[in-house]
Amino acid sequence: MTATLLTRLLPPAALSAEEFGDIPDAWLFPEEAAVLSRAVERRRKEFATVRHCARVALTVLGRPAGPMVPGERGAPTWPEGVVGSMTHCDGYRAAAVSRRTDVAALGIDAEPHAPLPPGLLARIASPAERNHLATLRHARPALHWDRVFFSAKESVYKAWFPLAGTWLDFREAEVTLDPHRLTFRARLLKTGHDPEGRPLQVFHGRWQVSRRLVVTAVAHGVTPMSRARGRTPRDIPYGMLHGAADGGR
C-alpha cells in the first residue's frame, strides 16, 4: 500500500496509495458496482482495487470516502473540497488526493515501460516533440522515451480536465522532458481557465522509470511547499490505515 513510486513525484500536501496487484476482497459501493454490471472480471478487480487505494488515501487525509463513480470523460468523482487522480496498468494501481486549498489539480499516470504501439507517436506528438524525443533516444537509448512522453501527456490531461472542464487533445499540450531532473513541462496550446477564471498556460510534472513501469505526476497550483516528497500511508499511524482498509462504508 505504501506509494513508493509516487512518493518522489508529488508535493507534501498530496497523499498517495498504491498496489502492485488486485485485492480480492476490495469492496465497492452499490453505485460503483452498478457501473460494472457488464464488465469482465479483470476490469471489476482493477476498478475495485484502485478505489481501495483512493479510499485509504482519503481516510488518511481525514475525508470520508463516498462512491467514486466515473463522471464525464471517465473522471472519478471526489468528495467536496478534494482533488485527486487514479491510474492503473498491468500490475499497478494507484491513487493520489489532496485538499483543494493545498493543490488545485492532480494528475497521475502509470504505463508499462515498453515502446508505444507502432504509429501512435505520430498521432500524439508534433514534429518538434518528435525531434525532442529523437535527441533523448540518442543520448539514453535504454529508456522508452515515447512511453514516458505519452504518460506525461496523460497526467497533463487528468490535471487539466477537472480545472477547465473541456477535452484536451494530445496535440494541444506541448511536452518537454528533462532527462536530468526527471521533470517535464507542458505548454498548453488550448485556451482554458480554472474555476476562478485564471488562465491555464503551463503545467509542470515529474516522472520516473522503476520496476518496469513509467510513472508520471502533475500537481498544479501547489501552495508554497512543492519540492519535498508527498505523504504516503507509511507516514501515518497504523491504526488509521487499518480502519481505512477494512471498512468505512
Residues at the binding site for CoA are: 43, 51, 87-88, 109, 154, 158, 168
Grid cell 513501469 — which residue? 213
Nearest to 218 by CA among 236, 200, 198, 234: 200
d(CA 178, CA 68): 34
Whether residue 176 contacts residue 207, with contact meaning beta carbons closer than 8 Å, is answered with no
| Pairing of the two strands 173-178 and 105-112 | unpaired
Binding residues for Mg(2+): 109-111
Burial code of 217-243, b = ≥16 C-beta within 10 A, e = fewer?
A: bbbbbbeeeeeeebbbbeebeeeebee
Residues placed in the known binding site:
43, 51, 87-88, 109-111, 154, 158, 168
Which residue pairs, CB below 8 angstroms and at least 24 apart, start in 46-51?
46/22, 46/88, 46/93, 48/22, 48/23, 49/19, 49/21, 49/22, 49/23, 49/88, 49/93, 50/86, 50/87, 50/88, 50/93, 50/94, 50/95, 51/26, 51/76, 51/86, 51/95
